[in-house]
Amino acid sequence: MIIRKKRIVTVDILYWMPDYNNILQEFVWQTKDVVPEIPRVHRFLDYWHKNIDAVISEIKVADTVDNSYLPVKEMYTLW
């Protein structure tokens, strides 16, 4: 049995709304998640991709242990 500890994860999303495509906006979200897999963050990004009409420019993910950003393997865009 493997015990996985959850840590605070910060997700920083830069995006454009369809009506204001010349203004870059930012959404910051914190949650507890299992690092490095971050399944809750992936579910949130899947939800964003399917239900929110915003084009994501950049996603940064940081956890509480090393406070460094992790690269995101997939970019979610609505084109």
Q: Is the pTM for the entire model greater than 0.75?
A: no
Tens digits of per-residue pLDDT, 6-61? 888 999 999 998 888 889 999 999 999 988 889 999 999 999 999 999 989 999 98
pLDDT band at 64 (very low <50, low <70, confident <90, very high): confident
Q: What strands, in cross-sheet order, belong to the sheet with 55-63?
A: 20-34, 6-17, 55-63, 69-70
- Enumerate the domain spans of the chain: 6-70
pLDDT value, residue 51: 95
DSSP 78: -
